[in-house]
Structure 1
Amino acid sequence: MISTSARLLRLLSMLQSQRDWSGAHLAERLGVSTRTVRTDIERLRGLGYPVEATSGVGGGYRLGSAADVPPLLLDDEEALAVAIGLRTAAGGVTGFEETALRALAKLEQTLPRRLQHRLDDLLDVTVTVPGPTTTVPVDVLTTIADAVRRREGLRFDYTGSDGAEGRRTAEPYRLVHARERWYLAAWDVDRRDWRTFRVDRMRLRVPNARRFQPREEPDGDLVGFVERSIGSATWRVRARAHVKAPAAAIIARVPPAVIVEEVDAETCIAHVGSDSSAQLALWLGLLDADFTVDGPDDLAPALQRVSDRYARAAGAAGTLET
């Protein structure tokens, strides 16, 4: 029979790995009586672990939350995952770097030597490619998250991509971290439509707006809506292409920002964009299908230049020596 201390550690690990346990199931897994389980539960409570108990047919035990964080039991892979996560936790969030590093230092002190070597090896061969990062204060993120949980509207001043400032009221639904930035997917109360807001451009006002009833997500996929929104937000040139190909085939070739509408089994419409008409002309060729396009006046000359360039290349291709 395992010792009492070892059994307590195993019991704690079980409570941390699953939300609810019946006393009989714990006793069976530990190889002890239900009375011993009750005694061990009291021991864990005495050590500061808030083990909750419920009675009745569906009763059992669960590990509740606590005012003070008690020690956690982590297996090897969990410990490595936490350490790696702490290394990158401060990305995009101000006021969090020092806290993450303190937590990482405490964790590394407790790692056994075999895990220290694995973590050091991973960090030694990992290179971080620097890129543009826009940070936001951690208290702004937690305030928004609390409003999402409580279904409370947010009031805030917002600076648009064109530099225009205005006051907005929105029903917040989801925070999304993508492309090194934080975004809020929300229902814009004044515009009566879904919008994606960059959190670093928001200046929250207090108090919050009134509570709201949840709405159906756009197209049933709020995260996909954000991906499409932030993907198309930087387009300077936009066009509408009538493509002679099935919608499914085009969807498989384009990024989420491109909206594809089915016309019939062999035709679709793609709402496309890019930084310039010249780049859009090149990108349209990647559809690998015949198309006509409605776009800005300089798109037709750009398409002609691409066509002429490829025609010259095709004519010269037969003269090259092999």
Structure 2
Amino acid sequence: MTAFPEGGSMAVTSARTLRLLSILGIGATLTAEELAERLGVSLRTVRRDIDTLRELGYEIEAVRGVGGGYRLGRATRLPPVVFDEDQAVAAAVALQTVPTILSGIRENSARALATLQQAMPARSRIHTESFSVSAARNYWEFPAAPIDAEIIRVVGGAINRQHVVCVDYTGEDEPATLTLEPHDLVVWAARWYLVAFEPDTDRWRAMRVDRLEPRMPTGRTFDRRDVPHGDPVAFVMSTHDRGDTLTEWPCCGSALVALPAPIVARFAPGGSTVEHDTDSSCRLTLGAWSWAGLAGLLLTFDADITDIEPAELRQALRSLRTRIDEGLRRAT
């Protein structure tokens, strides 16, 4: 009788080996212990499966020293589809929801999902066909309109190749043509932002991608710099002049908030604007579906507010104070 490795059958062994290949396909360096834990097998079985993959022609590199382990060689090409069930679901969700943040891509994403499903084994395909995703707006969300996929392709390519870009940008008081060193793309609050260094002004910028239009490629390269805060996401979230504009709402107002602009910018709802006033204060302008809702949003910052405009917003704050006082009186 043929003795199969841990798992009980050749089919199980082959499936496990494909899963190992899929795990290594993410590009990370993982120890034998980490791989064994993910696969639920022994270290000996992991090493045997790695040898099997090498015999099949896959370049599995052994990385020595601190942080060492195994990784997939850069020259290795994965088979068209090596998805487990969780990855199949992740791909299906991503392809169905991407049209909410990218425009002009709905048909392509649908075709990509259909192609993916055709290439999957039946067991994985069942997980992608068992659901569909529809996006609906919630009034607590403040998303921007889906962005042109071609702009993402051009800017993303420049980031990958480290090419200087020249763009027309409408996020300023006046439209401007800027020369930028693009470093990262960040999606936050359903908005795309470019993190870039502007050599002409010697400063870092967080810019709304939907407000820029790339010009002809420059072909000039640049060396990557250290992004402020060491993290492009943290930089975008704490930058108040990132090109945001006020969303149209039935009720709009503003107030001076006794907090630094970077803090307010981090927690302000999408569709609002933050203007620097002093190192310890800023003006927050935002909108809501009612004056009471707008007043409530201001109060979430738990800081002193002054210079409140317009009069309807001041009246809403007075009304809230009356309701709160009455509620507390009844509670006691």
User: Is the TM value for this pair above 0.5?
Assistant: yes
Q: Which amino acid aligns with 2:204?
A: W
Structure-to-structure mapping, 1:163-174, within 5 angstroms: 164-174=174-184
Give the greater-gyration-radius structure (CA): 1
Once the two structures are superposed, what CA deviation does each residue of 1:177-220 show, in whole Å capped at 9, x if it has no partner?
23444221222233333322232332233224441340341x45
Q: 1:92 aligns with which of 95, 101, 108?
A: 101
SS at match of 1:207: coil
Deviation at 1:112, TM superposition (A): 3.4
Aligned length: 292
Aligned to 1:136: 148
Q: Is 2:284 the counterpart of 1:272?
A: yes
Structure-to-structure mapping, 1:240-251, within 5 angstroms: 240-242=256-258
Q: Take 1:198 and 1:20, find their aligned partners in 2: how far apart are those partners?
A: 34
Deviation at 1:14, TM superposition (A): 1.6
Q: Which amino acid aligns with 1:214?
A: R
Aligned to 1:154: 165
Aligned to 1:203: 214
Q: 1:70 aligns with which of 79, 83, 88?
A: 79
Q: Is the 8 A contact 1:15 1:62 kept in 2?
A: no
Q: Is the 8 A contact 2:181 2:197 kept in 1?
A: yes
Show structure 1 runs of 5+ residues with no match: none
SS at match of 1:74: coil
Deviation at 1:176, TM superposition (A): 1.6
Q: 2:187 aligns with which of 177, 185, 190?
A: 177
Give identity over the alignment, percent: 23
Q: Take 2:180 and 2:205, find their aligned partners in 1: how far apart are those partners?
A: 9
Please, which moves more after superposition, 97-106 or 168-177?
97-106
SS at match of 1:176: strand
Structure-to-structure mapping, 1:32-51, within 5 angstroms: 38=51, 40-41=52-53, 43-45=55-57, 50-51=58-59
Deviation at 1:169, TM superposition (A): 1.0
Q: Take 1:187 and 1:316, find their aligned partners in 2: how far apart are those partners?
A: 53
Aligned to 1:293: 306
Q: Which amino acid aligns with 2:59?
A: V
Q: Is the 8 A contact 1:16 1:63 kept in 2?
A: no
SS at match of 2:158: helix
Cα distance change of structure 1 residues 303 and 120 upon mapping to structure 2, 3 Å threshold? closer
CA RMSD of aligned residues (A): 5.1
Q: Is 2:322 the counterpart of 1:282?
A: no
Q: Scaled by the length of structure 2, what TM-score is found?
A: 0.63
Once the two structures are superposed, what CA deviation does each residue of 1:97-116 show, in whole Å capped at 9, x if it has no partner?
44432331133343536962
Once the two structures are superposed, what CA deviation does each residue of 1:60-107 show, in whole Å capped at 9, x if it has no partner?
864335686514332222222222222223443356444432331133
Q: Take 2:128 and 2:64, find their aligned partners in 1: how far apart are those partners?
A: 46
Q: Take 1:242 and 1:42, find their aligned partners in 2: how far apart are those partners?
A: 62
Q: Is the 8 A contact 1:232 1:258 kept in 2?
A: no
Q: Which amino acid aligns with 1:82?
A: A
Q: Is 2:230 the counterpart of 1:214?
A: no
Q: Is the 8 A contact 1:51 1:61 kept in 2?
A: no
Q: Is the 8 A contact 1:155 1:209 kept in 2?
A: no
Q: Take 2:53 and 2:325, find their aligned partners in 1: how far apart are those partners?
A: 83
Q: Take 1:9 and 1:316, find their aligned partners in 2: how far apart are those partners?
A: 66
SS at match of 1:233: coil
Q: Is 2:117 the counterpart of 1:108?
A: yes
Q: Is the 8 A contact 2:254 2:310 kept in 1?
A: no
Q: Which amino acid aligns with 1:166?
A: A
Q: Take 1:315 and 1:100, find their aligned partners in 2: how far apart are those partners?
A: 53
Please, which moves more after superposition, 175-184 or 23-32?
23-32
Q: Scaled by the length of structure 1, what TM-score is found?
A: 0.64
Aligned to 1:189: 199
SS at match of 1:89: helix
Deviation at 1:12, TM superposition (A): 3.4
Deviation at 1:41, TM superposition (A): 3.6
SS at match of 2:196: strand
Q: 2:88 aligns with which of 79, 89, 99?
A: 79
Q: Take 1:254 and 1:60, find their aligned partners in 2: how far apart are those partners?
A: 40
SS at match of 1:205: coil
Q: Is the 8 A contact 1:155 1:208 kept in 2?
A: no
